[in-house]
């Protein structure tokens, strides 16, 4: 299955940059003529949409050259209506059309929140917004990237002061910042005194990205596409990169390891802290004996959590343990595939349902284990201990599947 990695750490993201990068990645020749025809036939605009080769600080890339004559959209409904007409003309699937309408909804909600209900489209009210959204989604759908995993690194948002309809404001623009906050999109620092992330760009990321990550994942890159913006930046190429890759292992995922050394908390406090962390969504929580300052006996508290939750989890860990500092590490972890099979076990001439968790890794059987809750339930009904019932389950059910007549 195809997967994509979007890298906007250097020059941020804009809708036209995403479109250009996908055109560079795929080498597609069909999208722009079809999009131009749709725009001209279905809106009150004439459009010239071209992809041109350019360089930014010596790095080759594709840049969009869009010429428009026509009116702006007055409302989000007009924008959505135009997108829907264009996407139908381009024969997009209903799922992809819904995704485009979601992007427009994100933009509209951001503008409405910024203006406290007094809705304005401002910079996102132009036809080129529809072009960016329709083009990006059409390419993702055509080349089956929507069916795979799309990941994204932190987004550079720029610095300094930018000029807008409201006058001069600091980067990022208010609508961009609203989307970043509401969708918890991680940002990257940048010294560029320029607006690097646009509302349309971050709205697209908010709706198409499955996973925001901090470092390159373990994978094998196949090819890359570069999409350039129009401005010349001071210290870096104005380019976004999109990389098609394949995972080096389908059973690997990233996690964040939190660690803190505690030498002044009781066992009751630490045990309670682990329970609280697990209840809060930690993937794992454990304690290792250690030696602290001045050779005092201590405990190393380790918490594993999903990327993006490390700040909240660190705060909770400090609150529970009294620690004043937490270390974090990005780690890869291999995960066995797990499934539940249902069987029936016969005890004293009565059949009882039992679930068995089967774990495999790279098609190798790792374990087969009866669900303990089911063992407890059968124990209550039979008076036998869970240990005895477990042995009977293994005797009756842990045969090759083809030899089991009691599998549901």
Tell me: do 168 and 315 sit in the same domain: no
Tell me: do 323 and 350 sit in the same domain: no
Q: Which domain holds residue 363?
A: 337-403
Residue 408, domain member (yes or no): no
**β-bridge partners, 96:** none
Which pLDDT score is estimated for 231?
A: 87
CA distance 86 to 81: 9
Tell me: do 201 and 315 sit in the same domain: no
| All residues at 6 or more sequence positions from 45 whose CB lies less than 8 Å from its CB, including other chains | 39, 68, 69, 70, 71, 127
Which pLDDT score is estimated for 23?
A: 97
| All residues at 6 or more sequence positions from 295 whose CB lies less than 8 Å from its CB, including other chains | none
Which pLDDT score is estimated for 404?
A: 38
Q: Which of 299, 217, 288 is nearest to 261 (CA)?
A: 299
Which pLDDT score is estimated for 169?
A: 79
- Give me the number of domains the chain comprises: 3
| SS3 (DSSP) at 152 | strand
CA distance 329 to 257: 5
Residue 95, domain member (yes or no): yes
Q: Which of 334, 366, 383 is the last residue of a domain?
A: 334
Tell me: do 170 and 130 sit in the same domain: yes
Tell me: do 357 and 296 sit in the same domain: no
Tell me: do 113 and 34 sit in the same domain: yes
Tell me: do 287 and 218 sit in the same domain: no
Block means of pLDDT (10 residues each) for the chain, 408 residues, are 89 96 96 92 83 94 88 78 92 93 93 68 70 96 90 90 71 90 90 89 96 83 94 91 79 86 92 94 94 90 91 94 92 83 88 89 84 91 92 79 42
Residue 78, domain member (yes or no): yes
Tell me: do 218 and 347 sit in the same domain: no
Token pair 């409201």 is found at 166
CA distance 175 to 178: 5
Q: Are 338 and 359 in contact (CB under 8 A)?
A: yes
Tell me: do 199 and 284 sit in the same domain: no
Q: Which of 310, 334, 358 is the last residue of a domain?
A: 334
Q: Which of 292, 307, 334 is the last residue of a domain?
A: 334
């Amino acid at each position: 299955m195809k997967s994509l990695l979007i890298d906007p750490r250097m020059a941020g993201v804009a809708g036209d940059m995403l479109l250009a990068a996908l055109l560079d990645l795929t080498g597609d020749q069909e999208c722009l003529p079809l999009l131009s025809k749709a725009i001209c036939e279905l809106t009150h605009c004439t459009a010239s949409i071209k992809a041109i080769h350019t360089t930014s600080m010596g790095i080759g890339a594709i840049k969009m050259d869009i010429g428009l004559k026509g009116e702006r959209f007055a409302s989000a409904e007009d924008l959505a209506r135009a997108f829907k007409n264009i996407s139908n003309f381009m024969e997009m699937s209903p799922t992809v059309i819904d995704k485009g309408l979601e992007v427009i909804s994100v933009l509209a909600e951001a503008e409405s929140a910024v203006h406290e209900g007094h809705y304005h489209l401002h910079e996102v009210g132009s036809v080129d917004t529809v072009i960016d959204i329709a083009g990006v989604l059409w390419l993702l759908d055509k080349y089956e990237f929507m069916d795979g995993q799309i990941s994204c690194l932190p987004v550079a948002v720029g610095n300094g002061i930018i000029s807008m309809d409201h006058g001069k404001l600091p980067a990022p623009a208010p609508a961009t910042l609203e989307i970043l906050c509401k969708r918890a999109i991680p940002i990257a620092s940048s010294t560029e005194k320029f607006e690097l992330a646009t509302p349309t760009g971050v709205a697209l990321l908010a709706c198409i990205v499955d996973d925001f990550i901090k470092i390159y994942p373990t994978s094998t890159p196949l090819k890359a596409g570069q999409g350039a913006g129009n401005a010349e930046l001071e210290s870096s190429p104005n380019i976004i990169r999109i990389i098609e890759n394949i995972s080096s292992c389908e059973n690997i995922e990233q996690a964040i390891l939190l660690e803190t050394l505690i030498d002044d908390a009781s066992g009751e406090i630490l045990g309670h802290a682990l329970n609280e962390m697990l209840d809060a969504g930690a993937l794992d929580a454990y304690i290792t004996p250690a030696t602290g300052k001045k050779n005092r006996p201590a405990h190393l508290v380790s918490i594993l959590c999903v990327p993006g939750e490390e700040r909240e989890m660190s705060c909770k860990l400090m609150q529970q343990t009294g620690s004043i500092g937490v270390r974090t590490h990005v780690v890869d972890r291999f995960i066995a595939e797990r499934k539940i099979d249902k069987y029936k076990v016969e005890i004293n001439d009565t059949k009882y349902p039992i679930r068995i968790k089967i774990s495999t890794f790279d098609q190798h059987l790792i374990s087969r284990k009866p669900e303990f809750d089911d063992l407890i339930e059968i124990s209550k009904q039979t008076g036998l201990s869970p240990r005895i019932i477990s042995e009977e389950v293994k005797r009756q059910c842990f045969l090759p599947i083809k030899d089991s007549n009691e599998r549901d």
